[in-house]
Amino acid sequence: MAQFRQCPDTGLFFHKEAENLMKANAVAGVVCLLIGGILALLVVLTRWPAIHLLPADSFYMVLTAHGVCALIFWMIFFEMAILYFAGSTLLRSRLATPRWAWAGFVMMVIGAVMTLAAIFGGKSSVMMTSYVPMRAEPHFYLGLVIFAVGALIGCFVYLGTLVVAKNEKTYEGSVPLVTFGATTACIIAIFTIASGAEILIPTYLWSIGYISHIDPAMYRLIWWALGHSSQQINVAAHVAVWYLIAGVIFGARPMSEKVSRAAYLLYIFFLQLASAHHLLTDPGLSVEWKLFNTSYAMYLAVLASMIHGLTVPGAIEVAQRKKGLTNGAFEWLRKAPWGNPVFSSMFISLVGFGFLGGISGVVMGTEQISIIIHNTIYVPGHFHATVVIGTTMAWMGLTYLLIPVLFRRKMIFPQAAKLQPYIFALGMSMVAVFHMAAGTLGVARRHWDMGFAGNPLGFEYPATAYLLMGIAGIGGVIGVIGGALFCVIAVGSLVFGEKLQKEAGLLQSFGVPLADSAYTNEKPARLPMAPAEAVEADHGESGFEAPGTFILAMVLLVSFVIYYFINWKYLSEVWGIS
């Protein structure tokens, strides 16, 4: 019999099994972020030329672990928690087959441990991309495969939950927008994981000698169907989290269900094609293939992101204006709850993802512009803007929300939590911007020594490049402090935070039974549809209900256009290639 409790603060219903799974996945994710963050410190201090902390072999080992731990494990564990939340909690439905979900979780943990053990064994410093014919130890690949299968099970449990909810009529009409966003993420995840299996299983067999040869170009093609698509899971999921937080904090209503859902539909159709970004300077792929795929079929997925970029803040603006914050274009934004880390993390995620990550990503994904950017440190600069300022900060905001709602704990150090998003954002923006700048001067990524010690030929990057890497180093240290603060607050709140209700503490998520008075076997009432009156009331025919947002969107567009053409200008100055 499915047991539910209702959160007294938000009215959300939690299915007990789903709740425990969310907790387990979120905690596992934060642990991975913690490990990834410690490794980040070592990496960034090595790339800071004046410090140059680690020797080469440990640098490459630690960098491999940082990429795998932060990008794959932290992101995907947390995504599992989001899927269970969007499927079960938001739909007021029991989770389909919780046992399978637990099996998936256990596999993910085993896989993660196995891969990390391989990396720290020292013989698998192949970077997360593990391009063949460079060889890692077999359990490096095997761990990733097991992790991926676990995640795949999670995806199917989510889809199963959608079916259960529909059959048991826990809601009416269409699923909520946030759930639809999670569905998009789930679909992208299934393609991602299938591609991962397609390439990592043969590679595993190759590493133990069953297969003699794996074609390096094919490997890159299929690996990036995994590597890049997994970033698209993040995008789809963190946009859903933006909508979620806007809804919870402001009671914001999507400006138009049709527009937001159609934008997600464009993601489903086109977003994953962009794996081609990584192969723009590879041998033998035709121009047609490159243009079609790198542009997500004429940038239709970029269009979708630009739409979300308008509708998320636009929804907030409409909600704020309805509360009377109508002065000028930006009163709604000035008077937003900037001291609430749930909101500030989410809004920084939105702006940082758009301005830093989004613009740079589209520019560098332009077929020819890739020539002046491919594999330089510009690339890590770009993706720390997307995956750290964008996705990680969205997850952080959500975590601050879940500490009271899901874990029923009071947050410890609320003052520090207020500041944490700003510290983290400052540090990571410095990493992103200064890495990008150093990349335009040609500094290589995944590179232990920009002074090229040990080579008789010698080459000096301009002094500016050293300066930029040094500033990025300072930013990295600030970022790590911000990240550590997050981990301390999140983990600390779970362990030491005052219990809001005794029945749903941390112990319970480890299976220790406590009084479960708040859980009942009663099925929650059916999820009502959004109130209809609101629609006509705040969507006048005149249309411009969110002028401030429109101005922000235009600022984004203008920056985008300028930056785009600056890069063409740079490109036009290099040697002719044809």
Partner 1 sequence: MADENNTDEREEDENISPWQQMIDNPFLLLFIGVAMPTVFYTLWGVMEIASIPVAPY
Partner 2 sequence: MTSLLPPAQKNWWAVPVGRQEIIWIAIALVWCLIMFFMMPLWHMYGNQNIPTEAYKVTPAKYQAKVNEMIEKYKVREETAMKIPVVAPPDGADVYLLARLWQWYPMLELKKDVTYRLHLNSIDWNHGFSLQPVNINIQVVPGYEMVLNITPNKAGEYTIVCNEYCGIMHHAMLGKIWVKE
Chain contacts with ligand HEM (rule: CB under 6 A): 36-37, 40, 43-44, 47, 63, 66-67, 70-71, 74-75, 127-128, 377, 380, 384, 387-388, 392, 431, 445-447, 476, 479-480, 483
Q: Which is nearer to ligand HEM, 43 or 403 (CB)?
A: 43
CA gap 372, 375 in Å, rounded: 9
- Residue 511 is a binding residue for partner 1 (CB under 8 A): no
Secondary structure (DSSP) of 558-570: HHHHHHHHHHHHH
**Single-letter amino acid code for the residue at 560:** F
- Residue 212 is a binding residue for partner 2 (CB under 8 A): no
- Residue 325 is a binding residue for partner 1 (CB under 8 A): no
- Which position among 1, 50, 457, 512 is part of the footprint of partner 2 (CB under 8 A)? 457
Q: Which is nearer to partner 2, 315 or 417 (CB)?
A: 315
CA gap 463, 410 in Å, rounded: 49
Please, which of residues 343-362 interact with partner 2 by CB under 8 A? 362
Spatial contact of 412 and 436, defined as CB atoms under 8 Å apart: no
- Which position among 100, 102, 120, 292 is part of the footprint of partner 1 (CB under 8 A)? 292
Write out the H or E segment, with its range, that includes residue 259.
Answer: helix 257-270
- Which position among 113, 259, 329, 467 is part of the footprint of partner 2 (CB under 8 A)? 259
Residue 190 contact partner, candidates partner 1, partner 2, ligand HEM, none, CB within 5 to 8 A by sort of partner: partner 1
- Residue 289 is a binding residue for partner 1 (CB under 8 A): yes
Fill in the per-residue mask, 281 to 320: x = in contact with partner 2 (CB under 8 A), - = not in contact: xxxxxxx---x---x--xxx-xx--xx--xx--xx-----
- Residue 141 is a binding residue for partner 2 (CB under 8 A): no
**Single-letter amino acid code for the residue at 451:** G
Instruction: Give the number of other Cβ atoms within 10 Å of residue 500's Cβ.
Output: 18
- Residue 324 is a binding residue for partner 2 (CB under 8 A): no
Q: Which is nearer to ligand HEM, 68 or 315 (CB)?
A: 68
Cα three-residue angle 76-22-492, rounded to 5 degrees: 95
CA gap 58, 61 in Å, rounded: 5
- Residue 177 is a binding residue for partner 2 (CB under 8 A): yes
Q: Which is nearer to ligand HEM, 32 or 162 (CB)?
A: 32
- Residue 194 is a binding residue for partner 1 (CB under 8 A): yes
Q: Which is nearer to ligand HEM, 243 or 378 (CB)?
A: 378
Nearest to 231 by CA among 258, 267, 260: 267
CA gap 385, 425 in Å, rounded: 9
Which two tokens mark 426?
């400052």
Bridge partners of 15? 4
Q: Which is nearer to partner 2, 210 or 575 (CB)?
A: 575
- Residue 145 is a binding residue for partner 1 (CB under 8 A): no
Can you list the alpha helix ranges (DSSP code H) found in 444-544?
Answer: 463-496, 506-509, 533-538
Fill in the per-residue mask, 195 to 224: x = in contact with partner 1 (CB under 8 A), - = not in contact: x-------------------x-xx--xx--
Which two tokens mark 267?
């993601």
- Which position among 51, 122, 211, 216 is part of the footprint of partner 2 (CB under 8 A)? 216
Q: How many residues does the chain have?
A: 578
CA gap 392, 37 in Å, rounded: 12
Nearest to 355 by CA among 553, 548, 565: 553
- Residue 540 is a binding residue for partner 1 (CB under 8 A): no
Looking up tokens 């990550």, which residue turns up? 357
- Residue 521 is a binding residue for partner 2 (CB under 8 A): no
Fill in the per-residue mask, 430 to 449: x = in contact with partner 2 (CB under 8 A), - = not in contact: ----------xxx-xxxxxx
CA gap 575, 571 in Å, rounded: 9
Q: Which residue is nearest to ligand HEM (CB)?
A: 67
CA 450 to the chain's CA centroid: 30
Contacts of 576 (CB under 8 A, 6+ apart): none
Cα three-residue angle 28-68-130, rounded to 5 degrees: 150
Q: Which is nearer to ligand HEM, 38 or 95 (CB)?
A: 38
Fill in the per-residue mask, 403 to 432: x = in contact with partner 1 (CB under 8 A), - = not in contact: ------------------------------
- Which position among 251, 328, 337, 339 is part of the footprint of partner 2 (CB under 8 A)? 251
Q: Which is nearer to partner 2, 46 or 420 (CB)?
A: 46
Secondary structure (DSSP) of 190-225: HHHHHHHHHHHHHHHHHHTTSSS---HHHHHHHHHH
Q: Which is nearer to partner 2, 173 or 209 (CB)?
A: 173
- Residue 453 is a binding residue for partner 2 (CB under 8 A): yes
Please, which of residues 146-165 interact with partner 2 by CB under 8 A? none
Bridge partners of 14? 5
Three-state SS sequence of 279-322: HCCCCCCCHHHHHHHHCHHHHHHHHHHHHHHHHHHHHHHHHHHH
- Residue 78 is a binding residue for partner 1 (CB under 8 A): no
Residue 442: phi and psi, rounded to 5, are: 95, 5
- Which position among 215, 498, 516, 522 is part of the footprint of partner 2 (CB under 8 A)? 215
- Which position among 173, 209, 511, 513 is part of the footprint of partner 2 (CB under 8 A)? 173
Q: Which is nearer to partner 1, 234 or 272 (CB)?
A: 272
- Residue 178 is a binding residue for partner 2 (CB under 8 A): yes
CA gap 175, 166 in Å, rounded: 9
CA gap 173, 153 in Å, rounded: 27
Binding piece for partner 1, criterion CB under 8 A, among 109-117, 259-267, 322-330, 436-444: 259-267
- Which position among 208, 262, 453, 557 is part of the footprint of partner 1 (CB under 8 A)? 262
- Which position among 100, 102, 120, 269 is part of the footprint of partner 1 (CB under 8 A)? 269
- Which position among 176, 227, 313, 352 is part of the footprint of partner 2 (CB under 8 A)? 176
Spatial contact of 112 and 149, defined as CB atoms under 8 Å apart: no
CA 32 to the chain's CA centroid: 14
Spatial contact of 14 and 2, defined as CB atoms under 8 Å apart: no
Q: Which is nearer to partner 2, 1 or 573 (CB)?
A: 573
The SS3 assignment for 337 reads coil
Bridge partners of 444? 376
Site residues for partner 1 per CB under 8 A: 6, 11, 159, 162, 172-175, 180, 183-184, 187-188, 190-191, 194-195, 215, 217-218, 221-222, 225, 229, 261-262, 264-265, 268-270, 272-273, 275-276, 279, 283-286, 289, 292-293, 297, 524-526, 528-529, 531-532
